[in-house]
Structure formats: structure tokens, C-alpha cells
Structure 1
Amino acid sequence: MKNKKILLEAGNWVWSLFTINLAWFLLNFPLILMTVIIWNFPMKMNFFMLNTVLIGMIMFFLIPSITAVFFGIKKWGERGNGEYFRTVLKCWWDQAFDMKLNGTIAIIIGFIVTGLKFFGENSIMIQSELLMISIFIIMFIITMSFLKAENNYSLSNVLNITIHHPVRLLVGAITFITLIGINTFLKLAFLIMICSVSLAALITTSLFKNASLKPDKGEKE
């Protein structure tokens, strides 16, 4: 009986994680396809047109949906196991029209994609520089998303986490990169649909929880 209860709780936990991730995946599936097309597209003129579409998709789908995933994780922690598909969709819709912030981030990502496509393929130095910029962008996005989900977003709080919790922030960024990148390198594409982003957000939330506005004693202030 005890083992049955443990299995049931584990199943409900996995279901909660899956429903959050599935909402993110469905929102971003067109973006994933567009990224594949752009990366393999040979014609420069059409590339810039497609890259403009990509920027729009990042602005409207990717960035607000990551915030929605963090919000789903927060609600999961408050309510317990359950279905959070609609919770994520509702939060995404609420966040999708923050055009100024989302648009700025999307344009920067678009420049990175352009740089990798035309200048980075034959230059390790450019690849390294763009990789570093990409990591900083990811760190900003996950910090912003966490704080928005906690209804505590401001640039000062983003800087506070960046300055006082750099190790946690870097671990969070590496977690996102690893869990998404593993789909490509190990050909486990199903993971991006099942748990990649929601699990990364869960781990990052546990790293940031109760640490967003005060420094760790073990980290430099």
C-alpha cells in the first residue's frame, strides 16, 4: 500500500512537470521549426527575412512562455501536484504583450543568430564571443522570468541576483543549456516535449528561492 502511494505521488509529480513543459513546447513548436529552417537556409536575402520572422516569434512566444513556465512552477509549489497546462497558457498570454522588453531581447538574439550564421561558422573566436553573449542573455532571461513569476521584477532585483548570486545564476543557465542541448547531442528530441524546460525551471527556482533579494554568506557581496 505504501509503495502504491509512492508510485501514485511520483506519477502525479511527473504529470505536473509534463503539463507545464507541454504548454511551453506547443507554444514554441513553430519557433523550433523556424530555427531549423533558418540554420539550413542558404540564400542570404531570404535568410534576413526569415530571421525577422524568427525575432517576432522569440518576442511573442519564447520569452513570455519561459516566464509562464516559471509561473507554472510557482503555482505547482503552492497548490501541489496537478494539471498546469492552462495556467502556463494564461500567464503566457498575459506576458506576450510586454513588447518593449521582449522585443529588445529578441532583437539581440536575432543579431546573435545572424552572427553565427554568417561570421561564426569559420571563426572560433567569433563563436566564443557570441557564446559568451548568449550565456549572459540566458542568465538575464531566466532571472527576469523568475522575478516576474514571483511578481518581484525590477532591473535592480535582476542586478541584485547577478551581483550577489552569480554561482546560482550560472548554474541555472548551465542547467537550461544542458537540458535543452541534450536533445540535439544525444538525439533525445522527445525530452524537449516532456520535461527539458520545466525541469530546468524547477531546478533554477529551487536555486533562487529565498535568495532573490539577499546575498549568500558564502558568496561575495
Structure 2
Amino acid sequence: MLNLQSKFGQKLLTISNWIAALVTINLVWFLINLPVLVMLILAISLPLNQLFAMTMVIVTVMLATFTVPATTAAYQTVRTWQMTDSGSFLRATGMAYLKALMHWQPNALIAVLASGWLILLRVTTANIMWHVATLVVGLVLLTLWNGWNYSQFTTTSMVELVVAHPVKLILSAVTTIILFAINFELRLIFCILLFSMSLSALATYRIFNPRVKVTEDKQVTN
């Protein structure tokens, strides 16, 4: 029988709680974004015509209503989790989403930029040079978006983050891309359900706030 009071049991319990927090936060994010994912799949399957344009208008509204505030909520809950190491993550993520939903102006702007990039990505498919350029623009936009999400809960503005920590922000964006690419390249679709967004938010938080290991024999001097 496993003894949870032992050193191994405590580590196992910590890991279990860590996984449970990631999955809970990500599950709320996924459920909120499920209509957006369905609409995006529909848009991808359509030819470039009037119906595609109408679908992308709907996608833009849904991004502003679901994806952008839900992502901000995931970042906020991850930060709360890392600072307190406890909490009701299901309720916390839901409440953070409702709060972020009220910021309709930045949500709408980000949604329009994201939707415009998706359209440009689709239009430039036949031209390799323009398609690569579009991908680079996407990396820049994702970098700025991650910076904006992180800056919502710190005293540092997004502009200050971009100027002071461009490498960290790019690393954050690359990590996000890798975590979401796993779902498609390795056909591990369940990852987007379990931890893609929450782990991306955690990675961003840890890039800017690395844990400092303190050894037991470290002496503090005045």
C-alpha cells in the first residue's frame, strides 16, 4: 500500500495535483473554445468564396467572445495557481473568463488581427514566399499576444516586455506553437483537451518567473 506520508508519496501527490491543475484549467479553456474550433474546421473546408468570408466574420466574433478572454483567463488562473499553489481552478478559470469578457475593445482588436492572419494564411497557400512571410507575421502576433496576456496581471506593460524581454517572449511563442503543433503533427489530438493551453500559459509564466532552488545548507548572511 502506498504511503502518502513518505517522501515518494509526497512527490507523487505533488505531481498528481500539478497534473490535475493543468487539466482542469485547460478543460475549461477547451470547452469555452469548442464552438470556435468547430467553426474553424468548417472554414478550412470551404473554398475561397462568399460563404468562406461570411464564416470568417462569424469566427472573428467567436474569437472575441470565446478564445481571447478564455486565453486571458487561463493565464490568470495559472498565475494564481503558481503564486498560491492552491485554489478551485474550475471556478477560478470560469470567473476569470467572465471578467476578461468585459474587456471587449482589446478582445475585438486581437480577434480581428487573428482572423485577418487566418485569412491571409489561407490566401497565400499557393505562394511559398508569401506563405512563409505570413507564418513569420503569425509568430510576431503570437509573441505580442502572449506578452499582452502576461502583462495583464503584472505591473509591466506589454510594450515594456517587448523592449526588455524580446527573447523570452519569442521563446514563449515558440513553446506555444510546439505544444499546439503536437496535436496535429503527432496526431495527439487529446493534448489540446488536456494541457495545450494551460501548459503554454505555465511555460510563459515560468520563462519570466523561474523557480529558485535553495539548498538546505545555504547560509543567509546579513
TM value normalised by structure 1: 0.88
For 1:130, the aligned partner's letter is T
Equivalent positions of 1:24-103 (< 5 A) are 24-42=29-47, 44-103=49-108
| Structure 2 stretches lacking a partner, 5+ long | 1-5, 211-222
Does structure 2 retain, via aligned residues, the 8 Å contact 1:12–1:81? Answer: no
Counterpart in the other structure of 2:220: none
**Structure 1 residue ranges, 4+ long, deviating more than 6 angstroms after superposition:** none
Deviation at residue 127 of structure 1 after TM alignment: 0.9
Counterpart in the other structure of 1:187: 187
Counterpart in the other structure of 2:163: 163
For 1:71, the aligned partner's letter is Q
Q: Which whole-Å deviations, capped at 9, do the CAs of 1:55-102 have from their partners, x for residues lacking one?
A: 011111111111111111111022214540111111111111222111
Percent identity of the aligned residues?
A: 27
Does structure 1 retain, via aligned residues, the 8 Å contact 2:121–2:135? Answer: no
Does structure 1 retain, via aligned residues, the 8 Å contact 2:56–2:115? Answer: yes
| Structure 1 stretches lacking a partner, 5+ long | 211-221
State how far apart, in whole Å, the 2-side matches of 1:44 and 1:8 are.
53
1:187 aligned counterpart, secondary structure? coil
Counterpart in the other structure of 1:120: 124
- The alignment's C-alpha RMSD in Å is 1.5
1:149 aligned counterpart, secondary structure? coil
Does structure 1 retain, via aligned residues, the 8 Å contact 2:40–2:59? Answer: yes
Which residue among 120, 133, 140 is the counterpart of 1:129? 133
For 1:67, the aligned partner's letter is T
For 1:35, the aligned partner's letter is L
Counterpart in the other structure of 2:218: none
State how far apart, in whole Å, the 1-side matches of 2:38 and 2:78 are.
26
Does structure 2 retain, via aligned residues, the 8 Å contact 1:23–1:85? Answer: yes
State how far apart, in whole Å, the 1-side matches of 2:131 and 2:88 are.
40
Q: Which whole-Å deviations, capped at 9, do the CAs of 1:141-175 have from their partners, x for residues lacking one?
A: 1111111133x36xxx2111111111101000001
